[in-house]
Amino acid sequence: MTTSVRSMRVRLLVVLVLALPAAAGGQGTLSAQGLGYPPGQLSTRARGTAGALAEFDALSPLNPAALSSIVRSTLYFQYEPEFRDVVTGTGSSRTTTLRFPLTTAMIPVGERFVVGLSLSTLVDRTWATQFTSRDPIGPIDTVTSTQTFKTTGAINDIRIAGAMRLGGRAQAGIGVHVYSGENRVTLSRDFANPGFAPFVDTTRLDYGGSAVSVGGQLRVARGVALALDARKGGRLRMREADTLRASGSVPDRIGAGLLVDAIPGATLAVRYVWEGWGSTQSLGRALFASNTRDLSIGADVVGPRVGRSPLLLRGGVRSRELPFSARGERTTESSIVGGIGLPLADQRASLDIAVERASRSGIAGVRETATILSIGIAVRP
């Protein structure tokens, strides 16, 4: 690769990142209906390939067998702001949501085993809406008021998993998941008429549930690997002030991945995931929950060297269905992603950066776009 070609690629990346804030649409509440928006439990590395590598990625808490690729104890932390734009018939709104969607610790035990503990966001229900209306009060009165609905919080997935290498070609893993989280929800209405007192009501929903997952990886041929994993959801309970309000099930999940690394320095992957979000239907009052499909294709290639380490370049596209919708129409999300990986400190740390541009639709006349900046830092002491 010539220097000029490398230079052009780097310039392209710089232009891409710099252009993002200006071009960013943002993500709105089209995607965060129901129990919230599922970020996908993807590490920045996996997100850089649009999720295509997730079934093989040890940092993503999806396939427990993927932990087996860890050869040194690793701590991983991820930050992921999302800039949304929601465009409706009445105008557009821009919002910013901050997330810390994934923290992981992994330790090899002997030569064949790896155990890991991870905390990741299953669904994030953080958003707020505000609108002003003029409503009739009684037979002759009208009153102008501003109504605000705000919810913060998430359902998180705490996973303890172990993986084992079965010879040189196969790996298997098992994970136990505990789901915990809360939604702090505030509903308020402020009236323009001073004769009215403001209305504010705040409550907290607590969630608790469990699941188990199993997974495997198999190198079926030189340069070709398959991954398969499944999660079986247990009971998911919703409580309000210690009172059981509703219960459903943690969604079952089946994921499959195909990885091709026959070309030195380049890894191509395809991933397909099915999740049974319909099992959460009973948790809501008027929840429109449905099972989802997720298809992504991506690549991770070795780029130019920075210092003594190669710069990893990533990219991918993804199309998926979102589990919750406002009125029952299916909400879909299409994304294009780019990212880099930069080994640091003689491979004892790494910095991953990914930028995802997503477009969501589902309700006629409403369009939502988002830019997700994902930054992951892994330390291997």
Partner 1 sequence: MDSLRIRIIPLVIAVGVATLAACTETLENTRSCPVLCPGQDLPVRDTLVDAVMFDTTVGTYPPIGAELYIPLARRGDTLDVRGVVRFDSLPQRAVTKAGDTTTAPIALVDSARIVLRLSTPKVRPAAWTVEVYDVDTTAADPLTAGALFRPDKRLGVRDFATADSDSVSVPIDGAQLLAKIKAKARLRIGLRVTGTPTPLEVRLGTIESGTPAQLRFRASRDTALRALTVNVLSTTPDNDPFLRATLTDYAIVVAGPPPPDAQSLAIGGIPAWRSYLRFDVPSRIADSTTVVRATLLLTQRSNPRSPLSGDRMLIRPQVVLATPQVTDLYKAALQVDATPGFFGADTLSLVPIQASLVSIDMVRLLRRWRNVPLADAQRAIVVRAAEEGTGTPQSLFWSRRATDPAVRPRLRISYIPRVDFARP
* Interface with partner 1, residue 30, by CB under 8 A: yes
Q: What 3-state DSSP class applies to 26?
A: coil
Footprint on residues 264-293 left by partner 1 (CB under 8 A): 283-287
User: Residue 370 CB: number of other CB atoms within 10 A?
Assistant: 26
The minimum distance between CB 229 and partner 1, in angstroms, equals 28
**Residue 319 burial (10 A CB sphere; 0-12, 13-18, 19+):** middle
Q: Residue 373 is encoded by which pair of tokens?
A: 């900046």
The minimum distance between CB 289 and partner 1, in angstroms, equals 9
Footprint on residues 191-250 left by partner 1 (CB under 8 A): 191, 193, 195-199, 201, 203-205, 238, 240, 245-246
Of 232 and 237, CB closest to partner 1: 237
Contact pick of 326, 336, 349, 379 for partner 1 (by CB under 8 A):
326
* Interface with partner 1, residue 155, by CB under 8 A: no
* Interface with partner 1, residue 130, by CB under 8 A: yes
CA distances from 171 to 4, 65, 164, 176 (A): 41, 6, 6, 17
Round to whole Å and give the CA distance between 122 and 133: 34
The minimum distance between CB 188 and partner 1, in angstroms, equals 9
Q: In degrees rounded to 5, what are phi and psi of residue 24?
A: -65, 125
Of 128 and 263, CB closest to partner 1: 128
Stretch that binds partner 1, among 158-166, 268-276, 290-298, 365-373 (CB under 8 A): 365-373
Which region holds residue 213: left if phi is over 0, alpha if psi is between -120 and 50, else beta? beta
Are residues 309 and 330 in contact, defined by beta-carbon separation less than 8 angstroms? Answer: no
The minimum distance between CB 262 and partner 1, in angstroms, equals 28
Footprint on residues 76-95 left by partner 1 (CB under 8 A): 79, 81, 83-84, 86-95
* Interface with partner 1, residue 134, by CB under 8 A: no
Round to whole Å and give the CA distance between 318 and 26: 17
Round to whole Å and give the CA distance between 70 and 82: 29
The minimum distance between CB 242 and partner 1, in angstroms, equals 14
The minimum distance between CB 359 and partner 1, in angstroms, equals 16
Footprint on residues 36-65 left by partner 1 (CB under 8 A): none
For the chain, give the number of residues: 381
* Interface with partner 1, residue 107, by CB under 8 A: no
